[in-house]
Structure 1
Amino acid sequence: MLCFSSAVESLRIANRMAGETLYEWRLVGEGGDFITCSAGTSFKLDDDLCELSRDDTVLVCGGIDVGKATTKKILNWLRREARRGVTMGGLCTAGYTLAKAGLLDGKKATIHWENQDSFAEEFEEVTLTKSVFVVDGNRMTTAGGTSSIDLMLKIIADDHGEALAGTVADQLIYTSIRTDQDTQRLSVPTRIGVRHPKLSRVIQMMEANIEDPISPSNLAREVGMSTRQLERLFRRYLNRSPKRYYMELRLQKARNLLMQTDMSVINVALACGFASPSHFSKCYRAQYSTTPYRERGAQAARLSV
């Protein structure tokens, strides 16, 4: 709901501040009846998946279980309208829907950080970034949440000038307008609550090397310290060893892939640096009290409800 309302409110306020109707919008969807978001709020659709004009812009809004919501009818409609030259955008997880329709092939794009791992595995032909939003030709994607505001402010500024965009931002009490150069997640020091440059650098290397893990000794060497010093640093600030922290990162990615993709358990294991499926299963059970196969089965059961 946040990414949806942020987009609509930005356009509404632009109209109000300009004193004229600069933007109009319709809420359309499969069936043309009602749509309910995960917070339980329902919206009356203005229309079914109707025929558009070339000057229209489609903004697809996605939330949890976006794969289930991405139906064949929606994919065919998006492809048809894209052939007319309609500008397409995906808010939050809806970048997945655009990519599934083949509309982001050869393009730069972004998606909510929680879906980045699965997106990168499934859509190799898309250049995935960690930006809050991306505009590449007539394709737009956002990371979700308030990043819809940033995208709308860019559109407003491009269409009607920076002054109006700034006025809209003031009305939204939005004091720091982000660009496509800003990343969607907090910096490592802010995220872990520790401002130690060498520790931050090691964690960044870990996050960038999940499929081919780097040994603690090599990590220590990269930041100019001994393995024992690195061990003490992790114990002091994170109350765990570098090996344990690295394992948790790899298992977290594995869980994302199991929940969000159709990748086999073996391929998930390989993508997260586990050469042996049995070792992967053992580590996964120790972390999450269930096996990867049961996790996948439980997820499938939830989606079928």
Structure 2
Amino acid sequence: MQVCFVVCPDAPMLDMALTRHVLEHANRAAGRPLITFRTRTLTGEPVATAEGARLFPDAKGWDRGPGLDLILVFAGQSPLARIPFGLRGFLLDADRIGATIGGIGSGTQILAELGLLAGREAVLSGPLPQDRDPLWPDIARTQAPFVLARQRLTTPGGLTVIDSLLAWLSRAIAPELAAEIRRAALNGAALPSRPKNEETADPLLSRMESVMSAHIDTPLPLSAIARELDLSPKQMRHRCQTGLGKTPSQVYLDLRLARARRLVQETGQTVHEIAKATGFVSPSAFTRSYKSHYGETPRALRASKRQSVSRGRAYTSPALQGSP
């Protein structure tokens, strides 16, 4: 597996260090160099990180290069200031051969600006530009720790990098490998652990929801999720009902429908596209579940929203219509 870092000036070293730490731990767990790394910079020349260190690229230009599996864009405080010509083509070429394209921290804004998150749910991080209204309206923004779906990974950075990369490893290589790395983090502090106040009462349930959130478009069997948590399906069901008052299947459905609702409200995707993006076998099955959960169909929600907007416009004071 080949991973490529695309590094912008002022990108934080912490995010890159955590990323390398997780992926290098995967190599150690596998007992062989399973993952190799390449680094590119926006200019093709050395760049200074947020901490002042100089980072040197392994390659220049935007030729695709063979066999890329994961490309991660790291950016600093002004991610949109100098996006180079050629970066979009580089990322789209990799996308066409099946690579996952990721944004870490404000690198998510670069993916948004290049149109690579259109019609998707995504995390957008960093100081957002104030001169855009609306701001990337075709993206369903979420406050989730990360989103991994349809060959895109977005996360705000920091310790969320760990969970997002474990989810990618689970999907791209093997759930068992990601589970082993996670166990090492819990048992031996091989990876930084999340602060106590960010944990739920039962950290296994938080992990369960993270795994589910990373597999919204192609839902995993509950037995596979239980294995990743080192639980039997019966044990997972008991802990879920005790901690959340729901079965694992109900929690999974709630997560999928919550994402679907954001896509309905915040993007122009069709019902068919949203059904596919949230793991439903057909648009009709999606619509039935959606209506049962929210009391209205996706189309009815959009129609109601359009009517509200129209009524608001109808009652706008003529004196204000020309106001900025």
- Tell me the SS of whatever aligns to 1:141: strand
Partner of 2:165, secondary structure, is: helix
Residue of structure 2 equivalent to 1:21? 33
Partner of residue 174 from structure 1, selected from 190, 193, 196 = 193
Match of 2:182 among 120, 141, 165: 165
- Counterparts of residues 48-87 of structure 1 (less than 5 Å): 48=60, 49-53=62-66, 55-87=68-100
Deviations 1:176-200 (A, max 9, x none): 68669679xxxxxxxxxxxxxxxxx
**One-letter amino acid matched to 2:87:** I
TM-score (norm 2): 0.50
Deviation at 1:122, TM superposition (A): 2.0
Q: Which residue of 2 aligns with 1:3?
A: 15
The equivalent residue for 1:89 is 102
- Residues 142 and 148, structure 1, Cα contact 8 Å, conserved in 2: yes
- In the alignment, the residues of structure 2 paired with residue 181 and residue 115 of structure 1 have an alpha-carbon distance, to the nearest angstrom, of 28
Are the equivalent residues in 1 in contact too, given 2:108–2:123 (CA < 8 A)? yes
On the 8 A contact 1:131/1:181 being kept in 2, the answer is no
- The one-character-per-residue Cα deviations of 1:264-305 (angstroms, maximum 9, x if unpaired) are xxxxxxxxxxx8xx9x9xxxxxxxxxxxxxxxxxxxxxxxxx
- The alignment covers a number of residue pairs equal to 188
Residue in 1 aligned with 2:24?
Answer: 12
Mapped contact 1:33–1:44 kept (Cα < 8 A) = yes
Q: 1:56 to 1:5 in 2, by over 3 A?
A: same
Q: What is the 5 A alignment of 1:1-305?
A: 1-48=13-60, 49-53=62-66, 55-112=68-125, 114-115=127-128, 121-158=134-171, 159-160=173-174, 161=176, 162-168=179-185, 170-174=189-193
Cα distance in 2 for partners of 1:119, 1:148 equals 28
* Deviation of 1:99 (Å): 1.3
- Local SS of the residue matching 1:27: strand
Pairwise CA RMSD: 3.3
Render the CA deviation track for 1:219-243: whole Å, top value 9, x for unaligned: xxxxxxxxxxxxxxxxxxxxxxxxx
Deviations 1:150-169 (A, max 9, x none): 11122233323112332256
SS in 2 for 1:122: coil
Report Cα offsets for 1:32-77 as digits up to 9, x if no partner.
Answer: 3312112211111111233133552111111210011323332332
SS of the equivalent of 1:140 reads strand
| Cα separation, partners in 2 of 1:108 and 1:25, compared to 1, 3 Å | same
Q: Describe the shift of the 1:174–1:116 C-alpha distance in structure 2 as closer, same or farther (beyond 3 A).
A: farther
One-letter amino acid of the structure 1 residue matched with residue 191 of structure 2: L
Report the identity percentage.
Answer: 23
Letter of the aligned partner of 1:36 in structure 2?
A
Give the secondary-structure state (helix, strand or coil) at the position aligned to 2:124.
Answer: coil
Verify the 8 A CA contact 1:54 1:85 in the aligned structure 2.
no
CA distance change for structure 1 residues 85 and 56 in 2, over 3 Å: closer, same or farther?
Answer: same
Pick the structure with more helix per residue.
Answer: 1
What are structure 1's unaligned runs of at least 5 residues? 184-274, 281-305
